[in-house]
Amino acid sequence: MKTSIRVWDLPTRLFHWLLVASFAGAWLTAESERLQLIHVTLGYTVAGLIAFRLVWGVTGTRWARFRSFLPSPSAAINYAKALIGKAPEKHYTGHNPLGALAVYALLLLGIIVTASGYGYLQQDQDWLEEAHELAANGMLALVILHVAGVVISSLKHKENLVRGMVTGRKTGEPEEAIPGNRVIPGLLLAAVVGGFWLVAWQQPAAIGLTAAKTAETTGAAARGSDGDDD
């Protein structure tokens, strides 16, 4: 008999929401020279979170492991058709085929976004900037589609998937529940991210932003503001 069971461990949930916050923050600060430190810090955070997820996809709990949601374009298409149509689609304890495909695509785009952003920070070449912006736009579009899919799936199955990613619980058979919440790895992840933010804020040089470059971008922003006042 299906009941409420623990499906998503703490590290998986922290990864998800930290990635949401970091990508959103990086997107909102992308065009601001004055907020470059925040943008770069969050970009590194996204890279670190992706690295963590790749490891956790092999070593994590049952539903966090990649082998539990292997990508299948045909299954994703069939699932999408069922969501749009009237026929009920199979309920998945972990990621459904559409969500699984979104996870892999987001990880791939995240790697491209952060790698091109790092390259542009180091070399300041136009093609790297264009690649960075193109990949970021693609990632944003995919996020919007993913959110739409989550909303539709939640309505179709009468199960709040967003709440599930907050509490870690979904509907499933008792034997499908993960045995533990992995609190210690989750706390370590939060501590590493928080510590990195603190170091980056206090020592910009640690993330490749020299004092001269920070002053240059801040000065450019200030000059732009002065020009707007004239």
What domains can be seen in the chain, in order of their start residue? 10-167+183-229 (1.20.950)
Contact 42, 197 (CB under 8 A): no
Strands 3-6 and 169-172: antiparallel
Q: pLDDT tens digits for 25-58? A: 999 999 998 999 999 999 999 999 999 999 999 9
Tokens 């292997």 correspond to: 70
One pLDDT digit (tens) per residue for the chain, 230 residues: 789 999 999 999 999 999 999 999 999 999 998 999 999 999 999 999 999 999 999 999 999 999 999 999 999 999 988 888 876 668 899 999 999 999 999 999 999 999 999 999 999 899 999 999 999 999 999 999 999 999 999 988 889 999 999 999 999 999 999 999 999 999 999 999 999 999 999 999 888 776 445 544 444 444 444 444 44
Residue 67 is given by DSSP the state G
- Judge if pTM exceeds 0.85: yes
For 197-211, the pLDDT digits (tens) are: 999 999 998 887 764
* Cβ burial, residue 43 (10 Å; 0-12/13-18/19+): buried
Rounded Cα gap, residues 110 and 68, in angstroms:
21
Taking the C-alpha atoms of residue 171 and residue 6, their distance in angstroms, rounded to an integer, is 9
